[in-house]
Amino acid sequence: MIENLGNKDRKFYKVVGQVQNYDWGGKSFIPNLVSEKIEENRTYAEYWLGAHLKAPSKVITEKGSVSLDQFLNENPIENLGADVEKNFGKLPYLFKVLDVDKMLSIQVHPSIAAAKIGYKKENEQGIPLTASNRNFKDENHKPEIMVALTDFWLLHGFLEQEKLVKNLKETLELSFLLTTFLEDGYLGLYKKVMEYSQEEVNTILRPLVKRILPKFKNNELEKSSPAYWAAKSLNNSDSEDIDKGIFSIYFFNILNLSRGEAIFQDAGVPHAYLEGVNMELMANSDNVLRAGLTSKHIDVVELIKNTKFEETIPSILNGVENKSNGEVVFKTIAKDFELSKIELKEGITHTSHSNSVEILMALNGAATLLQNDESISIEKGQAILIKPNTSYKVETNSEVEIYKASVPK
């Protein structure tokens, strides 16, 4: 038990996140952002702000630093907000900065209903939570929204039928799949390639590799073409075997988001981050079903059960702007979280009221948060937790770009 975490009237707390050094990460964006010393040969993939037990953030209190989950548990109604406490019982979101250098695995996240069933089943089968073949790490869904902080590339859902047909027709080595797609649809096509043995994958894709890899090395491929990303992943791999995720690159939308554009990915939409830096807000879950571009476990049966086999027409979000207070809200159907951006110049004051616990992170510039007689500064790379039911102001005497995680009413 931690007694007396601080003055009851205090509403603002500094929060310090944790860096994840996954091997797909970049070298400098995250350490430059959070003022961490850059070590040679180290990659900096993600910066986590949240209460996830794998890497909980620290809250700086008068009594020293406390893990965020502990801080919230200590007085959940007061620290999370009554509605969040009732509906979720804990911080429902996880806030991240991602710096993607090498492409990430293709993945799908389950719905809540599927996660509950899968989690129970794997527990009954006695598969440890940390086992490499464990699919369901918790009972939660994991919808995600991301906003691009640089030019950003990703795979997002199946192509419309016409475009997928065009890709298959134009890619000599894959054109034999056209009949399957026309006769058996998205599910038939996907099931067929995902069920190939490694030997079959190698035999089918070897001619494709031979054709596109030299073009990639000569800079002859466009980033908007599946061949570019297929070749990039092949170029990064030192395995003799060809990853079956290469097929998916030809089946999915390849999206290029400009800085400030956002996209939402709900349960069942296959996706993969390819390149760039983003700010991501997701439900607090670790449930990932992988589908390729990975050396990790792929459970084809579960993957197919949890994937929506339909075209996705990408909906790029520019957010809804409130000009008077500098806030842009990226609305989604997720009940677990809401992402917004607060961009201010000197002379514009942002006023707000927190209904639930909020986390603000500054990407650039500096500002001061004020409520009653309390104030706290925030600058590039820093994060502040705001307690629920707080009316506050944000002011800057230069300029500031802040991202905010909250729970919609």
Q: How many residues bind Zn ion (CB under 5 A)?
A: 1
Q: Is 350 a known ligand-binding residue?
A: no
Q: Is 20 a known ligand-binding residue?
A: no
CB-count burial class (<10 Å; 0-12, 13-18, 19+) for 356? buried
Nearer to Zn ion by Cβ, of 30 and 282: the residue is: 282
Residue 66 has, within 13 A of its CA and on its CB side, a CA count of 19
Cα separation, 98 vs 22, in Å, equals 10
> Taking CB under 5 A as the rule, which mask of x and - marks residues 300-329 in contact with Zn ion?
------------------------------
DSSP-derived secondary structure letter, 317 = B
Nearer to Zn ion by Cβ, of 107 and 253: the residue is: 107
290 is annotated as an active-site residue: yes
Catalytic residue of the set 42, 211, 259, 290: 290
Residue 62: other Cβ atoms inside 10 A: 10
- Measured from the CB of residue 285, what is the shortest distance to Zn ion in angstroms? 10
The distance in angstroms from the start CA to the end CA of the chain is 31
Cβ 15 vs Cβ 361: under 8 Å: no
Cβ 405 vs Cβ 358: under 8 Å: yes
Query: What's the Cα-to-Cα distance from 78 to each of 34, 72, 396, rounded to whole Å?
Result: 29, 8, 28
Footprint of Zn ion on 95-134 (CB under 5 A)? 107
- Measured from the CB of residue 107, what is the shortest distance to Zn ion in angstroms? 5
Nearer to Zn ion by Cβ, of 261 and 358: the residue is: 261
- Measured from the CB of residue 255, what is the shortest distance to Zn ion in angstroms? 14
Nearer to Zn ion by Cβ, of 107 and 390: the residue is: 107
At what angle are helices 161-170 and 178-194 packed, to 10 degrees?
Answer: 90
- Number of residues in the chain: 409
- Measured from the CB of residue 373, what is the shortest distance to Zn ion in angstroms? 43
Residue 16: other Cβ atoms inside 10 A: 15
Query: What's the Cα-to-Cα distance from 163 to each of 17, 249, 250, rounded to whole Å?
Result: 41, 13, 10
Q: Is 18 a known ligand-binding residue?
A: no
Q: Is 144 a known ligand-binding residue?
A: yes
Nearer to Zn ion by Cβ, of 291 and 357: the residue is: 291
Query: What's the Cα-to-Cα distance from 33 to each of 27, 30, 147, 376, rounded to whole Å?
Result: 12, 5, 16, 19
- Measured from the CB of residue 305, what is the shortest distance to Zn ion in angstroms? 17
Cα 225 to chain centroid distance, Å, stands at 23
Nearest residue to Zn ion, by Cβ distance, number only: 107
Binding site for Zn ion (CB under 5 A): 107
Residues marked as binding for Zn(2+)?
A: 107, 109, 144, 271
Catalytic positions, please?
Answer: 290
